[in-house]
């Protein structure tokens, strides 16, 4: 869920290497984070070419790294330490040696290309001139500090719970569930409790707030670690998890909110007015804040972007709300024993399921059967130098083609595959085809909401149903992807919002929501702090961090570029400030309402 400006600012982190020619420069070459220096010493009597490719780049064409002159010639290159590199040394179109290795951050290595005395074939050997840094030490220190802080905030309330000596501490740490107006009834729910009046599900706000907190952290750079940024194409990273969780919670909240409004006698016309207003506001917010910031200067139509995160969330909310408005106002039948009772939460809403199946069929037909000029039918790759360089202009297949046809240049120009796959075509991860599967993801969240409604008061049944859905979706995703990153029928791909990606994220969402429901709403072991605070002001935190992300005190110009220390501190600092702001607004009972 990164904004375009934040992603564009971090694109330089994906550069695989930058060459530094002339052997005299190796010792003094400055290295930044995620970089290592390779120096090639050629002791052969012929010139050699050094080529490379990243193992994260699927079937990518080898790229030129350096040319090393014969007879003790040398040259150097700065390489990325993010992914495993496969390097080959060639002479006269013949491969002399090849190896795959993940180099360490800040390390300096010498590769000797020589002819061993006991062999007639050239070989390549490594020596380490400078040992690499421990790139994960800042992350380990931060994790330990966060663990200590968490233990303090968990332990202190229990210490003081028996004696009310500190009202301040009990206010911060021991709050129970509260009512709010965050998105009004869109997040209101009925819960298993001895009281007859409905209460708010803490697990929903906690889940939403957890997703939002992770999203803010990765949007601030995630400390510069590659696994806190979006995957270049296929596969999953931490950044790829947060938006599906948001969409899932939207679906769950729609069911619970409409159930509450149904009980209050809200008419269908009133519902249509409400959802239309909210959708329009979300679309307008997304379009304006995505395309303008005070840093950008005058608005220019040349870089206007039509799709975006809030636009997709708004449209998904609109479709899910229509489904619930016209085909979701069902009275829950009495708990009678019928053959269809175990699946009544599915059969009772067969019209909704029919529409979702038709939408998914449309996605499959367009994605796998639609002819795309110059591209193979059903192509799901990144194009560029991938797939042996055969389809350089086919980024995203049908999804990219439809978006370019509809939006032209007014779409995202810096896709995550650009630097690794050297693509030239724009590709928007919030495009049209992906929005179809976003609706499917939200519908899975609606199913979670129906389970909570149908089995209210029976926690064991709710958790078992959540587990069953997680297993079904997980197995389906494993089959579609063949448990591989690139070799499945439909790979797990956030850029395309592929079917396997939706099923995989649905599996995670059911498990995570089920765990939070058990801990916060059933056992009351945890009140959801601190995630519940941004979860109850999600729109404000998202829009606020998108607009103010480049400004002090949320971020500053970094000076320590050779390691992750300063960037990780800045990411955690900016995230913590927004959690603090959300907490202060919570104390003032201020909740941004749409």
Q: Which residues are catalytic?
A: 230
Strands 73-80 and 17-20: antiparallel
Instruction: Report how far Cα 254 is from the mean position of its chain's Cα atoms.
Output: 23
Residue with tokens 């971090």: 10
Tell me how far CA of residue 264 lies from CA of 185, 192, 198, 370, 455, in angstroms: 11, 19, 12, 46, 21
68 vs 293: CA distance, rounded Å: 47
Q: CB count, 10 Å around CB of 567? A: 23
Q: Are 107 and 31 in contact (CB under 8 A)?
A: no
Sequence-ordered alpha helix ranges (H) in 292-349: 309-327, 344-347
Coil, strand, or helix at residue 579?
Answer: helix
**What is the rounded (10 degree) CA torsion for 276, 282, 283, 284?**
110
| Tokens of residue 584, six digits | 């202060």
50 vs 54: CA distance, rounded Å: 14
393 vs 407: CA distance, rounded Å: 17
Cα angle for residues 312, 513, 438 (degrees, 5° grid): 20
Q: Residue 584: exposed, middle, or buried by beta-carbon count in 10 A (0-12, 13-18, 19+)?
A: exposed
Backbone angles phi and psi of 180, in degrees to 5: -150, 175
Q: Which of 493, 361, 501 is nearest to 429 (CA)?
A: 493
Tell me how far CA of residue 349 lies from CA of 196, 336, 456, in angstroms: 27, 18, 18
* Own/partner long-range contacts of 122-127 (Cβ < 8 Å, ≥24 apart): 122/44, 122/89, 122/91, 122/96, 122/97, 123/96, 123/97, 124/89, 124/96, 124/97, 124/99, 126/101
Radius of gyration of the chain (CA): 27
Is the alpha carbon torsion for 522, 523, 527, 532 positive or negative?
A: negative
Asked if omega into 553 is within 30° of 0 (cis), the reply is yes
82 vs 103: CA distance, rounded Å: 8
Residues sharing a CB contact under 8 Å with residue 386, sequence separation 6 or more, in sequence order? 57, 58, 59, 60, 233, 417, 421
Cα end-to-end span (Å), the chain: 20
How many helices (H) and strands (E) the chain has is answered by 17, 9
Coil, strand, or helix at residue 3?
Answer: coil
């Amino acid at each position: 869920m990164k904004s375009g400006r934040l992603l564009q600012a971090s694109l330089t982190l994906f550069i695989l290497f930058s060459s530094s020619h002339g052997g005299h420069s190796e010792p003094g070459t400055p290295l930044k984070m995620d970089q290592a220096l390779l120096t090639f010493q050629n002791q052969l009597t012929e010139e050699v070419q050094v080529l490379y490719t990243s193992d994260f780049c699927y079937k990518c064409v080898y790229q030129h790294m350096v040319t090393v002159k014969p007879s003790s010639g040398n040259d150097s290159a700065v390489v990325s330490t993010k992914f495993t590199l496969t390097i080959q040394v060639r002479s006269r179109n013949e491969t002399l040696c090849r190896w795959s290795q993940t180099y360490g951050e800040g390390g300096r290595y010498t590769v000797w290309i020589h002819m061993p005395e006991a062999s007639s074939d050239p070989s390549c050997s490594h020596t380490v001139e400078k040992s690499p840094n421990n790139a994960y030490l800042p992350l380990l220190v931060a994790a330990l500090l966060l663990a200590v802080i968490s233990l303090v905030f968990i332990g202190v309330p229990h210490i003081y719970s028996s004696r009310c000596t500190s009202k301040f501490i009990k206010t911060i740490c021991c709050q129970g569930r509260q009512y709010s107006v965050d998105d009004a009834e869109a997040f209101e729910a009925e819960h298993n409790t001895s009281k007859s009046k409905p209460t708010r599900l803490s697990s929903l706000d906690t889940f939403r707030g957890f997703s939002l907190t992770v999203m803010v952290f990765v949007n601030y750079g995630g400390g510069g670690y590659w696994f806190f940024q979006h995957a270049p194409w296929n596969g999953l990273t931490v950044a790829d998890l947060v938006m599906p969780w948001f969409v899932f919670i939207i679906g769950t909240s729609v069911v619970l909110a409409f159930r509450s409004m149904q009980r209050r006698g809200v008419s269908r016309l009133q519902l249509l007015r409400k959802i239309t207003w909210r959708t329009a506001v979300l679309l307008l917010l997304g379009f304006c804040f995505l395309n303008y910031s005070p840093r950008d200067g005058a608005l220019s139509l040349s870089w206007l972007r039509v799709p975006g995160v809030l636009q997709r969330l708004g449209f998904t909310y609109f479709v899910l709300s229509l489904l619930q408005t016209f085909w979701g106002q069902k009275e829950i039948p009495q708990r009678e024993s019928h053959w269809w009772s175990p699946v009544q939460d599915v059969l009772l809403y067969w019209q909704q399921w029919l529409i979702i199946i038709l939408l998914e069929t449309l996605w499959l037909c367009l994605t796998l059967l639609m002819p795309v000029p110059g591209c193979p039918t059903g192509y799901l790759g990144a194009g560029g130098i991938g797939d042996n360089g055969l389809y350089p202009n086919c980024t995203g297949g049908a999804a990219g083609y439809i978006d370019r046809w509809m939006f032209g240049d007014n779409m995202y120009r810096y896709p995550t595959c650009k630097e690794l796959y050297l693509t030239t075509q724009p590709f928007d991860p919030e495009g049209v085809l992906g929005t179809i599967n976003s609706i499917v993801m939200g519908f899975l969240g609606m199913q979670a909401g129906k389970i909570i409604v149908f089995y209210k008061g029976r926690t064991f049944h709710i958790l078992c149903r959540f587990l069953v859905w997680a297993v079904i979706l997980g197995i389906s995703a494993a089959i579609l992807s063949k448990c591989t990153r690139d070799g499945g029928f439909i790979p797990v791909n956030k850029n395309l919002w592929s079917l396997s990606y939706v099923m995989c994220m649905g599996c995670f969402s059911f498990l995570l929501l089920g765990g939070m429901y058990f801990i916060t709403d059933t056992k009351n072991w945890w009140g959801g702090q601190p995630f519940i605070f941004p979860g109850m002001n999600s729109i404000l935190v998202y829009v606020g961090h998108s607009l103010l992300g480049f400004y002090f005190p949320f971020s500053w110009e970094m000076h320590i570029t050779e390691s992750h220390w300063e960037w990780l501190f800045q990411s955690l600092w900016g995230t913590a400030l927004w959690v603090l702001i959300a907490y202060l607004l919570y104390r003032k009972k201020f909740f941004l309402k749409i």
